[in-house]
Chain A
Amino acid sequence: KQEVTQIPAALSVPEGENLVLNCSFTDSAIYNLQWFRQDPGKGLTSLLLIQSSQREQTSGRLNASLDKSSGRSTLYIAASQPGDSATYLCAARNDYKLSFGAGTTVTVRA
């Protein structure tokens, strides 16, 4: 059974600092890994999808890396802004199923 862990559970940084969010998974036989953002009381917004054959994926200030053999993915957010405050979830895909971590709640202080 796939187990996905995100550490830390919460993170507070001053505006402008780079954010590093970690995701680990136990079963390396994944198709892909997806990063999401969730605002309070809202659904999930897809940020990045990294295929199992890729090492990284970039979108604007966001960069996600994937090391399938060690079961790790990292989401980097450059030059954080207060608008980046949210919960970030990662999900590993095995066949039909996404397995989610519990998320990292980020607060960016102005």
Chain B
Amino acid sequence: DGGITQSPKYLFRKEGQNVTLSCEQNLNHDAMYWYRQDPGQGLRLIYYSQIVNDFQKGDIAEGYSVSREKKESFPLTVTSAQKNPTAFYLCASGQGRNQPQHFGDGTRLSIL
């Protein structure tokens, strides 16, 4: 089935550690997105990529980094510079402005 796969489902980070969240899609979409969701708040955009080898900062990019080396993959690294990383992270993909965005099942990141 076509869809978006995020892994792992749960992730724990130690102080000073970088962690990487995986996002893979087989929908053949050009654009991919990373969002952060905190309790009681709407999703906020971290980074997005409209094409391979290109990506742009969203509203809350500080402390995060991404790469887009393949069309299917858009990993997110949460660096030690992100001081409040505990959140639910959602990856999405889409094709064109007039098509819906589709989401993965998310990764919940917590601090040890």
Chains A and B form a bound pair: yes
Question: How far, in angstroms, from A101 to B42 measured CA to CA in the complex?
Answer: 5
Contacts of A32 in B (CB 8 A): 97-98
Interface size class of B (residues with CB under 8 A): 20 to 34
Most buried by B among A9, A43, A93, A98: A43
Chain A interface helix/strand/loop/mixed: strand
> A34 touching B101 by the CB < 8 A rule?
yes
B17 at the interface (CB under 8 A from A): no
> B42 touching A44 by the CB < 8 A rule?
no
> B105 touching A100 by the CB < 8 A rule?
no
Interface size class of A (residues with CB under 8 A): 20 to 34
A61 at the interface (CB under 8 A from B): no
Q: Which of B6, B31, B35, B101 contacts A46 (CB 8 A)?
A: B101
> B100 touching A89 by the CB < 8 A rule?
no
Which residue from chain B places its CB closest to the CB of A31 in the assembled complex?
B97
Would A42 and B98 be within 8 Å (CB), given that A4-B42, A100-B42, A102-B42 are in contact? Answer: no
Contacts of A41 in B (CB 8 A): 106, 108
B22 CB to closest chain A CB, in angstroms? 14
Which residue from chain B places its CB closest to the CB of A103 in the assembled complex?
B42
Which residue from chain A places its CB closest to the CB of B41 in the assembled complex?
A102
B103 at the interface (CB under 8 A from A): yes
> A43 touching B42 by the CB < 8 A rule?
no
Contacts of A93 in B (CB 8 A): 97
